[in-house]
Each structure stands twice: as C-alpha cells, then as structure tokens.
Amino acid sequence: MPQLQLPMFPVGVTEINTRVAVEAKDGRVCYIHGHLPVFQHDEKDVWSFRMFTSQMIVNGTAKPKEIVQTFRVPMGTVKRYMKVYRDYGAKGFYEPKPRHSSASVLNGEVLERAQELLDEGQNVPEVGKQLNVLANTLHKAIRAGRLRQPQKKANAPRLK
C-alpha cells in the first residue's frame, strides 16, 4: 500500500496547492512537490516556466486556476501553452517554430503602381484607396524598403 506524503513545505515558499509550492531565491525558481524539489529554472526563463506549469496542469498536479492565481498570469495564456504542451510536449517550448507569413498583397504590378503613385506625390492613404490596399500595408512596405516614399518638399521661404 502506498504511503501518503505529507506536504512539508520549507518556510518562505508560495503554495500553489496542498501538494505543490514554488520558491524564488537568488534568481532561480524552484518547484517543490511534497518536500522534494522537482524542477528549477532561471527567474527570467519564461519558456521553462510555461513548459513546467503546463506540464503540471496536463499531468493533474495543478489546476489552471491555481496557476493563474499564484503567478498572476492571464487564463488565456495558460490555456494557450497547455495546448502547446499537449500537441508537442516539452520540445514545443524550445524548438524554433516555423514563421508563417500570409500572401503578400503588394506584389508585382500592385507594388510598381504603388511606387508610381508615391513618386507622383500622392500620400500613402490616397495610394491605398486607389489600389484597395490598407495604408498600414503600404507603411510596412516602406519601412521594409520594398517601397520608397519620396522626400517631402521643403516649404518655400516666406517673404516679409
């Protein structure tokens, strides 16, 4: 018959629930189950925090509500990373993820026409309306160097 393990947490820890506590000390975070340390990570290591708290939830050691209350993180964030853990396991928190990019609205003829209109002196919102493209998209293309915005003309000197 298995013996029950009494929760005997050291002084100065924060209880997540009756079985698990957490202690932050000297830049390290230590998770304690019963009276034994089970995981540690650097205080600034957000990915390890997300991985281990998700693991505790998925394994039934802690509830999402307990993580939210203890660490003051949004429930949406907790659920998002629980899904990552369920779908990919611990490696989902450490392996580089492929970047997704949507199809570019500014390509070929549209990009050339946008540059022509900008060169004619039209402002970005006007160009966007004519081409049925959001002004924000044009601004991003300018920042990325795919479009050049003509230099603004200096005002003529005032006569007195």
CA 9/CA 111 separation, integer angstroms:
63
Condensed to tens digits (0 to 9), the pLDDT of residues 24-42 reads: 999 999 999 888 899 999 9
Let me know whether 20 and 64 are in one domain: yes
Domain count, the chain: 2
Whether 123 is in a domain gets the answer yes
Whether 22 is in a domain gets the answer yes
Let me know whether 73 and 115 are in one domain: no
Let me know whether 81 and 45 are in one domain: yes
- pLDDT score at 35: 81
Whether 150 is in a domain gets the answer no
Let me know whether 86 and 139 are in one domain: no
Domain, as residue range, for 123: 108-144
- Quickly count: other Cβ atoms within 10 Å of residue 52's Cβ: 23
- The pLDDT confidence band at residue 10, using thresholds 50, 70 and 90, is confident
Rounded to two decimals, the pTM is: 0.59
User: Is the pLDDT assigned to residue 5 strictly greater than 80?
Assistant: no
Let me know whether 66 and 42 are in one domain: yes
Whether 102 is in a domain gets the answer no
Whether 4 is in a domain gets the answer no
CA 19/CA 69 separation, integer angstroms:
16
Let me know whether 56 and 22 are in one domain: yes
Whether 152 is in a domain gets the answer no
As a whole number, the mean pLDDT across the chain is: 87
Let me know whether 74 and 24 are in one domain: yes
- pLDDT score at 160: 60
Whether 18 is in a domain gets the answer yes
Rounded (to 5) percent helix, strand, coil in the chain:
45, 15, 45
**Helix, coil or strand: residue 73:** coil
Condensed to tens digits (0 to 9), the pLDDT of residues 66-97 reads: 999 999 999 999 999 999 999 999 999 988 87
Let me know whether 127 and 58 are in one domain: no
- pLDDT score at 6: 60
- pLDDT score at 157: 61
